[in-house]
């Protein structure tokens, strides 16, 4: 009996998956490489793997999704299984290119996941970096933030990793009015944290 990794690799070809997640390819299935500054398409999408002839990046469909979403291999396999409705017998494969509306939704979803993932990692780092050495230490605001917010935003992140497509759409719709505001706030928060980290490293 095939495991989730074998099922994904057997039932989804990489060009279909890349197109579904918004990667623009030419008629020969070449795309601008996502892993280095690429002015001309140098990353080839083969059915069972990708290879960049510019930077040498190489891998299968699991590696590709793992890299573009910054998730683990298992999470990548789960995401593909959910998005392409994989069962042990059949798979739904999109037969047409995404419409502009669908493309816009994919971009929103990818952006939401990227920011949620970065924010959760930010909280994880703050929890470790600013934890008190003893019970008498004053709690750092970022440590408090990590305790207060992590469980909620990790749940949101999980929706994009193992949740169904319907759950992801529901999340985007629920936060539609405040979506751009939240994303902007997270991005500013992460920018400030990274700036502070750079100052500490120089010291």
How many whole angstroms from its chain centre is CA 103? 16
- Cβ atoms within 10 A of the Cβ of 173, count? 10
* pLDDT (mean) for 151-156: 87
CB 105 within 8 A of CB 99: no
Question: In 3-state terms, what secondary structure has residue 58?
Answer: strand
Task: Provide the percentage of residues in the chain whose pLDDT is more than 90.
Answer: 12
* Residues whose CB is less than 8 angstroms from the CB of residue 66 and which lie 6 or more positions away in sequence, other chains included: 72, 73, 75, 76
Which residue from 35, 18, 197, 21 is spatially nearest to 121, judged by alpha carbons? 197
Exposure string of 29-55, with b = 16+ CB inside 10 Å and e = fewer, is bbbbbeeeeeeebbbbbeeeebebebe
- What band does 61 get if pLDDT is binned at 50, 70 and 90? very high
Give the ranges where the chain is alpha helix by DSSP (H). Answer: 4-11, 14-20, 61-69, 73-83, 100-129, 141-162, 165-174, 179-202
Listing from the earlier edge strand, what are the strands of the sheet with 43-45? 30-31, 43-45, 50-52, 58-59
Largest distance between two CA atoms of the chain: 64
What residues are paired with 31 via a beta bridge? 43
pLDDT digits (tens, 9 = 90+) for 6-59: 888 888 999 999 988 888 898 888 999 988 888 888 899 998 899 988 888 888
- How many whole angstroms separate alpha carbon 101 and alpha carbon 111? 15
Taking the model in full, what pTM does it have?
0.51
Question: In 3-state terms, what secondary structure has residue 141?
Answer: helix
Question: In 3-state terms, what secondary structure has residue 59?
Answer: strand
pLDDT digits (tens, 9 = 90+) for 72-103: 888 899 899 888 887 654 444 454 555 545 55
Q: Residue 182: its pLDDT value, please?
A: 65
């Amino acid at each position: 009996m095939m495991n989730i990794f074998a099922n994904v690799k057997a039932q989804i070809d990489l060009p279909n998956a890349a197109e579904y997640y918004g990667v623009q390819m030419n008629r020969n299935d070449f795309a601008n490489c996502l892993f280095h500054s690429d002015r001309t398409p140098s990353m080839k999408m083969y059915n069972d793997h990708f290879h960049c002839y510019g930077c040498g990046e190489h891998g299968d469909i699991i590696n590709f999704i793992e890299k573009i979403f910054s998730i683990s291999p298992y999470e990548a396999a789960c995401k593909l299984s959910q998005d392409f409705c994989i069962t042990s017998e059949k798979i739904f494969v999109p037969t047409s290119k995404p419409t502009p509306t669908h493309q816009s939704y994919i971009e929103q979803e990818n952006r939401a996941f990227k920011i949620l993932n970065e924010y959760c990692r930010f909280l994880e780092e703050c929890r470790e970096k600013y934890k008190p050495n003893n019970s008498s230490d004053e709690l750092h605001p970022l440590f408090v933030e990590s305790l207060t917010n992590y469980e909620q935003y990790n749940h949101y992140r999980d929706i994009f990793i193992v949740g169904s497509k319907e759950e992801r759409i529901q999340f985007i719709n629920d936060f539609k009015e405040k979506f751009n505001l939240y994303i902007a706030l997270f991005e500013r928060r992460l920018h400030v944290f990274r700036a502070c980290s750079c100052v500490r490293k120089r010291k």
